[in-house]
């Protein structure tokens, strides 16, 4: 018995229509784009959590540049901070470290003594305690007039807003990709139905239920979407690894001074990405089934 006999159920010659050729390529592109968009969403979530974690529980106190050797405002501020409830440490940032902070903008050749830089104090808070920032500000103003206290909230809020907008954009792109996938599979299925009209009518006249014909289209759509999806996933993983390497290298060039987050996906992030071809396959399968059933309903 030949090969054809041993492969029952393939009454419809799918290999002979255009849909069979362009669907894998289309799925490849869509899974690739969806992979990048999804990775962006997951990494932004991680970055946001990391920023939040690193800035929560810290404060920065800024004092005007020293007016002279007798200026005791830094000592007074430190003393006031160290006895304040909820404060675990208050460490002055020396002028060399401060100069390093502004070096990306002003250049490294400047000596700390060339400029009147404000003095900074890094304050650490007890994560379990909820310090009264208003009382702390009042205490600081009394001890060192002109000192300001920055809890980073404004910066963090702006960053969070930006990250959320980027996330929503990425999710919107994902939804669009899904929509395009549905339209494309529906179009390819309709093309297949038109091309194989004679065989489908024959099956119908033999008493095939609509589900029997739909199953053949479903299997074909699933197979093609999985093939294309696997290719798209491979491309997306390669692109993300390259991107992660590139952003990591930028972040570690000399000092970690870049504002761009590094792309760093965790184990479960990769697992979510690995599911994308399966999701693409299931979407293709469901779309093909619904399209076939809707079309066959027109037959008597």
Partner 1 sequence: MVRFENVGMRYGTGPEVLRDITLRLETGSFHFLTGPSGAGKTSLLRLVYLAERPSRGLISLFGEDLSRLTRAALAPLRRRIGIVFQDFRLIPHLSAFDNVALPLRVAGMAEAKLRDNVREMLEWVGLADKLDARPPTLSGGQQQRVAIARAVVARPKLLIADEPTGNVDDAMAQRLMRLFEELNKLGTTLIIATHNAALARQFGRPVLHLEAGELTAAAAAWAAS
User: Could you say whether residue 194 binds partner 1 (CB under 8 A)?
Assistant: no
Is the CB of 152 or the CB of 223 nearer to partner 1?
Answer: 223
User: Could you say whether residue 70 binds partner 1 (CB under 8 A)?
Assistant: no
Range 42-50 contact pairs with CB under 8 angstroms and sequence separation of 24 or more: 42/265, 42/269, 42/272, 43/261, 43/263, 43/264, 43/265, 43/269, 44/163, 44/166, 44/167, 44/170, 44/261, 45/167, 46/264, 46/266, 46/269, 47/163, 47/261, 48/159, 48/160, 48/163
Pairing of strands 58-63, 87-93: unpaired
User: Could you say whether residue 205 binds partner 1 (CB under 8 A)?
Assistant: yes
User: Could you say whether residue 103 binds partner 1 (CB under 8 A)?
Assistant: no
Query: Which of 46, 204, 219, 223 contacts partner 1 by CB under 8 A?
Result: 204
Q: How far is the CB of 228 from partner 1 (least distance, A)?
A: 23
> What are the DSSP calls for 207-267, one per residue?
T--HHHHHHHHHHHHHHHHHHHHHHHHHHHHHHHHHHHHHHHHHHTSSSS--SSPPP---H
- Residue 131 has φ and ψ, to the nearest 5°, of -65, 145
Query: Which of 11, 235, 282, 286 contacts partner 1 by CB under 8 A?
Result: 11
Neighbours of 241 (CB within 10 A): 12
Q: How far is the CB of 10 from partner 1 (least distance, A)?
A: 8
Is the CB of 182 or the CB of 293 nearer to partner 1?
Answer: 293
User: Could you say whether residue 4 binds partner 1 (CB under 8 A)?
Assistant: yes
Residues 20-39 that bind partner 1 (CB under 8 A): none
Query: Which of 97, 129, 202, 241 contacts partner 1 by CB under 8 A?
Result: 202
Query: Which of 107, 207, 254, 267 contacts partner 1 by CB under 8 A?
Result: 207
User: Could you say whether residue 116 binds partner 1 (CB under 8 A)?
Assistant: no
Is the CB of 176 or the CB of 293 nearer to partner 1?
Answer: 293
Query: Which of 96, 109, 198, 254 contacts partner 1 by CB under 8 A?
Result: 198
Sheet order of strands, 87-93 included: 87-93, 119-125, 58-63, 148-150
Q: How far is the CB of 296 from partner 1 (least distance, A)?
A: 9
Radius of gyration of the chain (CA): 31
Query: Which of 156, 199, 290, 293 contacts partner 1 by CB under 8 A?
Result: 199
Binding site for partner 1 (CB under 8 A): 1-2, 4-5, 8-11, 13, 16, 198-199, 201-209, 212, 297, 300
């Amino acid at each position: 018995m030949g090969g054809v006999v041993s492969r029952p159920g393939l009454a419809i010659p799918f290999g002979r229509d255009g849909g069979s050729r362009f669907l894998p390529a289309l799925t490849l592109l869509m899974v690739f784009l969806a992979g990048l968009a999804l990775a962006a969403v997951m990494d932004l979530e991680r970055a946001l959590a990391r920023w939040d974690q690193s800035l929560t529980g810290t404060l920065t106190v800024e004092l005007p540049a020293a007016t002279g050797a007798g200026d005791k405002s830094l000592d007074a501020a430190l003393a006031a901070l160290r006895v304040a409830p909820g404060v675990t440490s208050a460490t002055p940032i020396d002028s060399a470290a401060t100069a390093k902070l502004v070096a990306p903008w002003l250049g490294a050749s400047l000596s700390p003594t060339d400029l009147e830089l404000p003095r900074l104090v890094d304050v650490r808070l007890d994560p379990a305690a909820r310090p009264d920032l208003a009382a702390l500000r009042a205490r600081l103003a009394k001890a060192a007039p002109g000192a300001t206290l920055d809890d980073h909230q404004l910066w963090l809020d702006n960053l969070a807003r930006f990250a959320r907008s980027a996330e929503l954009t990425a999710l919107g792109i994902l939804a669009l990709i899904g929509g395009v996938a549905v339209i494309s599979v529906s179009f390819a299925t309709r093309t297949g139905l038109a091309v194989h009209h004679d065989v489908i009518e024959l099956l119908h006249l033999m008493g095939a239920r609509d589900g029997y014909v739909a199953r053949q289209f479903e299997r074909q759509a699933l197979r093609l979407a999985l093939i294309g999806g696997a290719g798209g996933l491979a491309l997306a993983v390669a692109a993300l690894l390259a991107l992660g390497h590139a952003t990591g290298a930028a972040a570690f060039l000399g000092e970690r001074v870049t504002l761009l987050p590094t792309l760093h996906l965790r184990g479960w992030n990769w697992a979510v990405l690995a599911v994308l071809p399966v999701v693409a396959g299931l979407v293709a399968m469901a779309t093909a089934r619904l399209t076939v059933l809707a079309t066959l309903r027109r037959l008597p």
